[in-house]
Amino acid sequence: MSHPYEQMPPQAFWRKTVSAQAWTQLDFKPSTKFKLTPAMKIATAGSCFAQHMARRLQGFGLSHWVVEQPPAGLTAERARELQYGVFSARYANVYTVRQLRQLVEFAFGLREGDPPVLAEGARLFDGLRPRIQPGGYDSLADLRADRAWHLAQVRRLFSECDVFVFTLGLTEAWVEQGSGIVFPVCPGTAAGEFDPARHAFVNFDYPEILADLEWVRAFVAGVNPGMRWIVTVSPVPLVATATGQPVLVASTYSKAVLRAVAGRFADAHDEVDYFPSFEIIASAQSFGQYLEGDLREVSPRGVDHVMRQFAASFVDAGAKPAEAAAPTAIAASAAAAAQVECEELLNDRP
């Protein structure tokens, strides 16, 4: 008597690949649809966890392509304050897929009207990037000029990049009534004032998120047919929830939905691959060994493990000689690993 499981590789069996090996020795991504090379322009976006990936690419001989560069004469410290180089452009954290779609729509002139502006006294803040300019802008003209330059760089990013690495972070968001514009964080946390008549809570579901992701893929393919995707799901739980559910339950729901969307998206397209950073960190079988004391943030050791797996899976053999320098780069950035820019933390101020 025979059956299909007799022909399956070892990776298909729990006993052979999970029970029988140390967690650090598991191969979470035995095969990939494509490899990354030093010549590729690799762009990054997504939730806070995506910042870790952006920081580590160079250590593996790859190029983190930053299209929005600081102006001449700006000090390194000030450039960091203004979030130059945190991602490929200064969009700050893109927590939801709707936020990503919205970014593309504004960048390519597919949305009419201006994004919202938040005010605190005489200071003005970009509603879609409320912490991008510490202390706010002096005038609406300054804000609009900075926004226009930023969106021009986003157009260039999607028109020219070879690989887009996107980390799905949240399903929950706050939107502007009427326009449907989605904010990265609830108004009143990072800047401005919350208005219950103007601002509404939404928890995007699987069909909505998948539809948004498919829209972005299809649109970008029209302007950059060769662009490839690597999608991941952030393993970092929610800071807070507005669903009325306990935060752990709400977080589990969000991550399950995002993981399902990412899997379906990758399975449907040859140019899209999935990397299991979520599984490496958040699986129960990891025994929480990569979490900080708050049981939420990922430790530098956890980030190291994720990126070693990423390099082993995606980095082309021709780029791997540069990986010899990775431990130095990792050590240098380990102390800063927890210092990611994360507006979501403002949902639970001490």
The tens digit of pLDDT for each residue in 60-98 reads 999 999 999 999 988 999 998 999 999 999 999 999 999
pLDDT at 321 over 50: no
pLDDT at 323 over 50: no
Cβ contact 85:79 at 8 Å: yes
Cβ contact 316:37 at 8 Å: yes
pLDDT at 295 over 90: yes
What domains are defined for the chain?
35-112+150-340 (3.40.50)
Q: DSSP secondary-structure letter at 324?
A: G
Instruction: Report how far residue 319's alpha carbon sits from residue 27's, in angstroms, rounded to the nearest whole number.
Output: 20
Q: Which residues of 297-318 are buried (b: 16+ CB within 10 A; e: fewer)?
A: bbbbebbbbbbbbbbebbbeee
pLDDT given at position 135: 94
Instruction: Report how far residue 11's alpha carbon sits from residue 18's, in angstroms, rounded to the nearest whole number.
Output: 9
pLDDT band at 338 (very low <50, low <70, confident <90, very high): very low
The percent of residues in the chain predicted with pLDDT above 70, rounded, is: 93
Which comes out higher in pLDDT, residue 249 or 344? 249
The percent of residues in the chain predicted with pLDDT above 90, rounded, is: 81
The sign of the CA dihedral 326, 330, 333, 339 is positive
pLDDT band at 12 (very low <50, low <70, confident <90, very high): very high
Express each pLDDT in 143-188 by its tens digit. Answer: 999 999 999 999 999 999 999 999 999 999 999 999 999 999 999 9
Express each pLDDT in 204-263 by its tens digit. Answer: 999 999 999 999 999 999 999 999 999 999 999 999 999 999 999 999 999 999 999 999
Q: Which residues contact 208 (CB under 8 A, 6 or more apart)?
A: 98
**Which segments within the chain are labelled E, that is strand?**
42-46, 117-120, 123-126, 163-168, 172-176, 182-183, 199-203, 228-233, 272-274
Q: How many helices (H) and strands (E) does the chain have?
A: 10, 9
Cβ contact 31:24 at 8 Å: no
* Percentages (nearest 5) of helix, strand, coil residues in the chain: 45, 15, 45
pLDDT given at position 113: 82
pLDDT band at 336 (very low <50, low <70, confident <90, very high): very low
